Amino acid sequence: MGTITGVLGPIDGRDLGFTLMHEHVMVCASGLRAHYPDLLGPDQETRAVAALRRAKENGIDTMVDATTFDLGRDPLLLKTVAAESGVNLINVTGWWLDVPRFMHGVGPNQMAREFVRDIEEGFRGTDVKAGLLKCAADSEGVTPMLEVMARAVARAHLETGVPIMVHSFPTGQVARRQIEIFRDEGVDLTRVKIDHSNDTTDTEYLEWILDQGCYLGLDRYPGRNVSPHMRTLTLKRLMDMGYADRLCPAHDCICLHIHKENPDGSIPEEHEFQRSNPEQYLYIKRFVIPDLLEMGATEEDVDVLFVDNPRRFLTGD
Ligand SMILES: [Zn+2]
């Protein structure tokens, strides 16, 4: 059985257990927590540890923390939170959507080398290594700089063998172009997971992605625009179509985020994501799995989605 690199070191595939494949402890911007920590609200470590302890107590063993450099990655925070909560955390390298203008002109081989170092040697100044690669494109499609990052991620994957998660925009069918780039780079598409795919109910498009060999991240719960129940109906429909072994539901939950000033000048105690999902990492356990069982899924199906699929995707076994 293969292993995957967590923030505390290698994790045996058999020890991954119940796994959420796209979550965040903290999302902000690179360097923000070091320079303007108060924007993220009080007692950050304490709040994050408490949220993940609650998750662990309710049977969540592992989470992929999808926070790249440009989303404010803080490897040492993740290390503390993993150690104190007992949840295995796996961090990513690669890039999300924010490429600073001074970086325009960097090339894919150059960025691939940096990502490979994150995987093999660790994030600079720490002993924390990345376990996955991530790239992104959204409503504007794969812009030239996002294409550089996608190709860099593909090349770092070919060198290291670690799997790729992809922030995508299903409403614009953006994965068609992202997959084309991976194919062009020679990536084995069974090591690629196309995320945020439950922001659509268009199963014809999702079936096309699955037929390319990719996994699907159905990782927005409760999410916006599409109701949670509709998301679960789409999940069940794809299971019934025979794709149960490549579907990965998760929340895209953010525990620590910027607390934005109210119109009256006060600072809210809870940030917008906390307000929209007070259950945090437990929403799926409390609402989605019961809904899925009600639709006729079995406990074995639940294990496939949250134990077998993550283990297979993460370890490559
Ligand atoms: Zn995310």
pTM: 0.97
Whole-number Å distance between alpha carbons of 217 and 171: 15
Beta strands in the chain (DSSP E): 3-6, 9-12, 19-26, 62-65, 88-94, 132-136, 164-167, 192-195, 215-218, 247-249, 254-256
- pLDDT tens-digit map of 26-59: 999 999 999 999 999 999 999 999 999 999 999 9
Calculate how far, in angstroms, residue 165's C-alpha sits from the geometric centre of ligand 1.
10
195 Cα–ligand 1 center, Å:
9
- Ligand 1 center–CA 22 separation, angstroms: 6
- Strands 247-249 and 215-218, how do they pair? parallel
Q: What spacing in Å lies between the alpha carbon of 291 and ligand 1's midpoint?
A: 23
161-189 pLDDT, tens digit per residue, is 999 999 999 999 999 999 999 999 999 99
How far, in Å, is the centroid of ligand 1 from the Cα of 68? 9
- The answer to whether 196 and 169 are in contact (CB under 8 A) is yes
CATH topology of domain 3-315: TIM Barrel (3.20.20)
Percent of the chain with pLDDT over 70: 100
Quote the ligand 1 centre to 167 CA distance (angstroms): 7
CA of 97 to the centre of ligand 1 (A): 11
Ligand 1 centroid to residue 92 C-alpha, Å: 11
What per-residue string of b and e applies to 178-201 under the rule 16 or more CB within 10 Å gives b? bbebbeebebebebbbbbbbbbbe
Domain positions in the chain are 3-315
What's the CA-to-centroid distance between 24 and ligand 1, angstroms? 6
- Distance in Å, CA 124 to ligand 1 centroid: 23
Ligand 1 mean position, distance from CA 96 (Å): 9
| pLDDT, tens digit (0-9, with 9 covering 90-100), for 80-134 | 999 999 999 999 999 999 999 999 999 999 999 999 999 999 999 999 999 999 9
Tally Cβ neighbours within 10 Å of residue 19.
Answer: 26
Distance from residue 185's CA to the centre of ligand 1 (Å): 24
Q: How far is 112 from 108, CA to CA, in rounded Å?
A: 6
pLDDT at 1: 62
- Work out the average pLDDT over 121-148: 98
Cα(162)–Cα(164) distance, integer angstroms: 7
Query: pLDDT per residue over 262-305, tens digit each?
Result: 999 999 999 999 999 999 999 999 999 999 999 999 999 999 99
Contacts of 200 (CB under 8 A, 6+ apart): 170, 171, 206, 226, 234
- In angstroms, what is the span from residue 252 Cα to ligand 1's centroid? 5
